[in-house]
Chain A
């Protein structure tokens, strides 16, 4: 009886496994389809039957995007602003996380409440006031203007605090005995012990910033200052629609983050589970 039952179990299991694998392939298929279409000629793309592989693979849409559009500037803007957001967010969050975790000072509780409050306030409702603020500062259409309102990432602080809390007290006490300054303790003990978290948080912050749409879309009106995420949706050809061309620019926009994910899969996964408050 038991063995028959076990076999039923295994057949059921095998079926579930097969379904999962097929579902995964179908799930990612639209991405494949977008990429493959971007390598086809425009008249191949609109054929009324399905071709899973381009008949005459061509790079001409990529060539067009790179030479005839402002995609180069958009890339630069995206890299600069995403890096800016990452460096500023991670460094300021690290310092605050350390202060809250390791130091006792007046105002510590209100500070913690401020961080938790910003966790709940949706930044989308602040777009009007961000716009007025950035406009008054004369920062519309600048990198600084794109970066500033994107610096609200309380989750990075919270993760840092948790990790600093877990560093055994003995390390700190030993360092204090040696008369090490607070700055030394931070740079020689706490930061090196948590490089993994810093890497993980930096990668996902970069991905979030690269993918940001709403604010970069509002902060920029001049096409040459757009980030690539916004740019590829705002500029279209005046004469008809070129599907393959549009897809090629989309592939270019998605490539850096997809690559970052594939290279640092484990770190990305870790940072994302951490950001939801789960120890990965």
Chain B
């Protein structure tokens, strides 16, 4: 076996070579480059002949007074608030409903709930832009029935975020439902049979058995959702077309705007670094919390 150690190493390097080359080029290098760029004054699209200028911490010190950065930051926080916990609870409720069914009916119901997750964001955008259309949207009939005045939902800043959050939950819920279903399936049925013998009510069974047993999955879903929603861009960008992008900015959208519309690579990179740090901190904290939760159960 020892004789093979050198051969093993050689083989391993051959196997990992393509991966290392790709990751070096599109992951390691761009990440380092992002930090460097954030300390420079560098136009992005109009490549000039001059070398980029070093500006120290300027790109960062300007952020607190940047009104658009404030909007982007708070909108992202608002969006996270509107999607993470509500989305998780909706998914849990749906999974509880699906898990009771069996056979073909279960497969069909699951497929109906899961289908949106599989669709491209631009298709989701077209579907909901049509469904919620101010003049011809079918959802507006519901508004009429309920006696609410019709509103051009994606053109008003009050409705915009909640509506996009709603569409996002509809779109991404399928993923969380699958995780919850896997979790529910892992709970042994004997536990429920014992509860039935004790004449425990439905709500009691859920509160005392299902919820605590499912908690590790719930924590996982919350973590995945939180990190996912911090990085939101696509839906906000699409629904802002023809609307008020400056009121609807979220972090990634602002990076895009600074870099590609204002041609300001340095300042855009500084915002990217801030989001990068937020996501890393949240991931690490979550990871620790998950480990704690696992130790408890």
Chain A positions near chain B (C-beta within 8 angstroms):
2, 5, 9, 12-13, 16-17, 19-21, 23-25, 27-28, 30-31, 33-34, 37, 45-46, 48, 50, 88, 91-93, 95-96, 98-99, 103-106, 108, 111, 114, 118, 120-122, 124-133, 135, 148-149, 151-152, 157, 182, 207, 210-211, 213-214, 218, 228-230, 232-233, 243, 246-247, 250-251, 253-254, 257-258, 260-262, 265, 268-269, 272-273, 276-280
Interface contacts beyond A88-B22, A130-B26: sample of 12 additional A-B pairs, CB < 8 Å, sorted by A: A9-B202, A34-B130, A95-B19, A103-B8, A104-B8, A125-B279, A126-B30, A129-B29, A129-B31, A211-B121, A265-B107, A280-B182
* Contact in complex: B230, A122 (CB < 8 Å): yes
Closest to A14 in B: B100
Query: B233 within 8 Å of A by Cβ?
Result: yes
* Contact in complex: A122, B202 (CB < 8 Å): no
Contacts of B153 in A (CB 8 A): none
> In the complex where A108-B12, A233-B122 touch, is A128 in contact with B259 (Cβ < 8 A)?
yes
* Contact in complex: B224, A129 (CB < 8 Å): no
Would you give the shortest CB distance from A97 to chain B, in whole angstroms?
9
> In the complex where A20-B97, A28-B112 touch, is A128 in contact with B269 (Cβ < 8 A)?
yes
* Contact in complex: B119, A276 (CB < 8 Å): no
Would you give the shortest CB distance from A7 to chain B, in whole angstroms?
13
Would you give the shortest CB distance from A102 to chain B, in whole angstroms?
9
Contacts of A33 in B (CB 8 A): 127, 130-131, 138
> In the complex where A24-B113, A31-B115, A121-B27 touch, is A128 in contact with B44 (Cβ < 8 A)?
yes
* Contact in complex: A31, B127 (CB < 8 Å): yes
* Contact in complex: B269, A258 (CB < 8 Å): no
Would you give the shortest CB distance from B202 to chain A, in whole angstroms?
6
Contacts of A28 in B (CB 8 A): 112-113, 115-116
Q: List 16 A-B contacts (CB under 8 A).
A: A24-B112, A27-B113, A92-B18, A96-B16, A104-B8, A120-B279, A124-B231, A129-B29, A229-B122, A243-B130, A250-B127, A251-B123, A269-B114, A276-B220, A277-B220, A278-B217
> In the complex where A104-B8, A261-B115 touch, is A128 in contact with B122 (Cβ < 8 A)?
no
A-B contact count (CB 8 A): 256
Name the 9 nearest CB pairs between A and B, nearest first: A20-B97, A129-B30, A250-B126, A105-B12, A254-B123, A24-B112, A125-B272, A28-B112, A211-B120
Contacts of B34 in A (CB 8 A): 125-126, 128-129
Would you give the shortest CB distance from B280 to chain A, in whole angstroms?
6
| Central interface residue in A16, A149, A157, A276, by most chain B CB within 10 Å | A276
**Residue total for B at the interface (Cβ-Cβ under 8 A):** 91
User: Restricting to B254-297, which residues have a CB under 8 Å from any CB of A?
Assistant: 255-256, 259-260, 265, 268-269, 272-273, 275-276, 279-280, 283-284
* Contact in complex: A151, B22 (CB < 8 Å): yes
A65 to B26, CA, bound (A): 35
Query: B9 within 8 Å of A by Cβ?
Result: yes
Contacts of A279 in B (CB 8 A): 182
Would you give the shortest CB distance from A134 to chain B, in whole angstroms?
9
A interface, by DSSP: helix, strand, loop or mixed? helix
Chain B 97-134 per-residue mask, 1 if CB under 8 angstroms from chain A, else 0: 11011000101110111111011111101111011010
Contacts of B11 in A (CB 8 A): 99, 103, 182
A256 to B284, CA, bound (A): 37
> In the complex where A27-B112, A33-B131, A253-B120 touch, is A120 in contact with B283 (Cβ < 8 A)?
yes
User: Restricting to B23-52, which residues have a CB under 8 Å from any CB of A?
Assistant: 23, 25-31, 33-34, 37, 44, 47
User: Restricting to B60-117, which residues have a CB under 8 Å from any CB of A?
Assistant: 94, 97-98, 100-101, 105, 107-109, 111-116
* Contact in complex: A125, B255 (CB < 8 Å): yes
Query: B241 within 8 Å of A by Cβ?
Result: yes
* Contact in complex: A114, B101 (CB < 8 Å): no
Contact of A132 among B23, B33, B138 (CB under 8 A): B33
Would you give the shortest CB distance from B126 to chain A, in whole angstroms?
4
Query: B214 within 8 Å of A by Cβ?
Result: no
A272 to B114, CA, bound (A): 11
> In the complex where A30-B131, A103-B12, A120-B283 touch, is A213 in contact with B122 (Cβ < 8 A)?
yes
* Contact in complex: A229, B113 (CB < 8 Å): no
Closest to A120 in B: B283
Would you give the shortest CB distance from A234 to chain B, in whole angstroms?
9
Query: B179 within 8 Å of A by Cβ?
Result: yes
A254 to B122, CA, bound (A): 9
> In the complex where A16-B97, A30-B131 touch, is A133 in contact with B122 (Cβ < 8 A)?
no
Contacts of A91 in B (CB 8 A): 18
* Contact in complex: B125, A233 (CB < 8 Å): yes
Closest to A78 in B: B120
* Contact in complex: A25, B182 (CB < 8 Å): no
Query: B170 within 8 Å of A by Cβ?
Result: yes
A243 to B283, CA, bound (A): 41
* Contact in complex: B135, A232 (CB < 8 Å): no
Contacts of A9 in B (CB 8 A): 202
